[in-house]
Structure 1
Amino acid sequence: MIPPSPYARQLDAIPVTRESVDILGGTTELWSYGPPDAGTTIVMVHGFRGDHHGLEPLVAQFPDYRSVLADLPGFGISTPLDVDGALGVRHDIHGYSAWLRELVGQLGVDRGTTRLVVLGHSFGSIIVSAALSEGLRADDVVLVNPIAAPALSGPRGILTRLAVFYYKVGAWLPERPGFAWLRLRLVTRFISITMAKTRDAGLRRWIHDQHDRFFGAFTNRRVVLDAFEASVSNDVSEYASRITPPTLLVASDRDDITPVSAQERLVAAIPDARLVVLEGVGHLVHYEKPREAAAAIEAFLAERRPGHPRPEQAAGEVS
């Protein structure tokens, strides 16, 4: 029996459409939630080995916005980028950055009437930051559990080193056993148990089920190995000085990947940024505390800024 989602009722009340778009030699599957003519569009980028399902609990908190979620190339049901063809786009940070910039361009967001917010979780925070440094234009930026420093320097860097060993074995093995190794359910469950901090038994069961169902959804071994290398070889701090839109960091006090001290250094390095630290949660804010994260995002978007409309003004209200 599949554990019920705590956010299903909220999500079911929001209209959703799905479409396929061709980007850099691959087919990206994306889902658009909420009113298509909303004054605010939030483009969300999920983390490593996830897919669009992971950020749906956040989407559920924004019924009045247009939220756009895509499966990263090579993950979920999106196909890989054109690695071996004429384009030669790799599944590294620059490749995913180029993909995100093209995706946002294809959405056709009218910046004159619509406020564009770009949100990234975990590995997605690195992709968003790289894209912004390479020309992506947005009105606001939200980074949830951002990778603020090299993953190996985190409070439980030993886990990252174990992950490096795990993926090296996956690369060393022949194709079929290597692919099976990288999808081991036992490893997925270990990661899920380690990262989940909630004491709510029902919520934990649902989180574990989400990881069991979607953590192994990647196209091939090459994609996941390249993306893993990108996730541990880059971090948001590399791009911080070039993130120019107003930016919100939503961090947590029990994150095993990036400590609060690194988040504090990161927020100081971004020209216009503020930091919210949620308590009692780790790297799975989007699963465990989406309501609290959404409240912080709403407060951030409601800030008055010179020449920058509030969300309701972007939707057409005249003050």
Structure 2
Amino acid sequence: MQPPVLSPYQSLMAATPVVHRSVQVDGRTTHYWEYGPSDATQTVLAVHGFRGDHHGLETIAAHLTGVRVIVPDLPGFGVSDPLPVSDIESYVAWLTAFHATLGLGRDAVVLGHSFGSIVVSASVAAGLDTRLLVLVNPIAAPALQGPRAVGTGIAIGYYRAGAVLPKPIGLGILRNAAIVRVMSIAMLKSHDRGMRRWVHDQHDRYFSAFANRTSVLEAFRTSVTHDVSEYADRIDVPVLMIAAEHDDITAVPEQRALAARLHDAELVVVPGVGHLVHYETPAPAAAAVLRRMADTPARPGRGRAAKAGRPAGAGRASRATATKASATEETDA
């Protein structure tokens, strides 16, 4: 493979401390990376999207100045061991156990990008406690319904073929460089040549780092058969949604509908970008997270007991707001 393309955020990344660690979670190894100062008073646990690994959230981590950011490779992706079955219940059990193994409490902010937004939302709905849930490019609506249903069906066929064909052919299809590049081009919105070259290089390097064909097929099925709206009624912590103006996977009206269903949600729409906020516009995304973290102090308890007996949906959307992030992006040559 060719030498890596220089990141637009190279100097910021070089100035950000990073440590690679691993831990046993239910008998399987999860690799994770800690960014930022080890003695930071605030921690963010960040979960990346489908077919990616921790590299995808490095730029947001670097922009969260002064915060310790923990980014694991999802089981079955990057270098983490796969789960026996990659369904949503297994991902929830893994994240909950990983959170506990690291000794994280409710003060740790939980963040998820894309497929990671489903994993973290399901986990919080199941009882994982956090003072703030952050969803970047959240999957806010079902992928098997509406205008994306046909494309989703085609993608299901692609992953199924990759899993059932003879191994050399199946892996060749799943890791085909041309197909990966088409996916990358479809998601990119930036016209900056340097940015485009770097994002394509990131996908070329890390988009095919999965443990086996079964894991990637099961994870894809999980990603398209679940969405954040499925868990909205059971999420009772403050939520920051960072959506994108031109996201082809979940449009802004669907993001607004999800925000209205959540008990306490703020929706920030980043202009001029699509599903790759974490690559193309990490600075405004991180700025929104830092601002909301400052405005969301730790709570004495989860608060679910205090709301016991409240009718479903009572008070929902009472604090939902929508703001627009700045399109200005600072890059370091």
Q: Which residue of 1 aligns with 2:117?
A: 125
CA spacing shift, 1:110–1:276, aligned 2, 3 Å = closer
Structure 1 residues without counterparts, runs of 5 or longer: 84-89, 309-319
The 8 Å contact of residues 49 and 217 in structure 1, kept in 2 or not, is answered as: yes
Quick one: distance in 2 between partners of 1:59 and 1:213? 19
Separation in 1, partners of 2:297, 2:54: 31
What is the Cα deviation at residue 219 of structure 1? 0.7
Q: Does the aligned pair in 1 maintain the 2:87–2:218 contact within 8 Å?
A: yes
Aligned to 1:294: 286
Divergent runs of 4+, >3 A? 152-159, 304-308
1:88-133 CA deviation, whole Å, 9 max, x = no partner? Answer: xx2111111111111111111355xxx3100000000000011111
SS across alignment from 1:94: helix
Q: Deviations over 1:145-193 (max 9, x none)?
A: 0000012346555433331221122133122321221111111000000
Q: Does the CA-based 8 Å contact 1:5-1:206 persist in structure 2?
A: yes
Q: Which runs of 5+ in 2 are unaligned?
A: 301-333
1:75 aligns with 2:77: yes
2:95 corresponding residue in structure 1: 100
* Aligned residue in 1 for 2:261: 269
Structure 2 residue 160 is the aligned partner of structure 1 residue 165: no
2:296 and 2:239 map into 1 onto residues whose CA distance is 14
2: CA distance, partners of 1:257 / 1:5: 25
The whole-number CA distance in structure 2 between the counterparts of 1:72 and 1:128 is 12
* 155 and 302 in structure 1: CA distance in 2 versus 1, 3 angstrom threshold: farther
Closer/same/farther in 2, CA of residues 209 and 34 from structure 1, 3 Å limit = same
Contact 1:61 1:291 in 2 (8 A): yes
Quick one: which amino acid aligns to residue 55 of structure 2?
A: H
What's the CA shift string for 1:259-281, capped at 9, x where partnerless? 11110110011111110111110
2:327 corresponds to: none
> Bigger CA drift: 266-275 or 9-18?
9-18
Q: What percent of counterpart residues are identical?
A: 52
Aligned partner of residue 216 in structure 2, secondary structure? helix
Alignment of structure 1 residues 10-25 onto 2, 5 Å: 10-25=12-27
Residues 28 and 70, structure 1, Cα contact 8 Å, conserved in 2: yes
Partner Cα separation in structure 2 for residue 11 and residue 64 of structure 1:
13
- Give the Cα separation in 2 of the matches to 1:27 and 1:298: 31
Could you tell me the TM-score, scaled by structure 1's length? 0.89
Call closer, same or farther: CA 1:266–1:280 in 2, change over 3 Å.
same
Scaled by the length of structure 2, what TM-score is found?
0.86
The equivalent position to 1:62 in structure 2, one of 61, 64, 78, is 64
Look up the match of 1:316.
none
Query: What SS class does the counterpart of residue 205 from structure 2 fall into?
Result: helix
CA–CA distance in 1 between the matches of 2:228 and 2:23? 27
Residue 237 of structure 2 aligns with an amino acid whose one-letter code is P
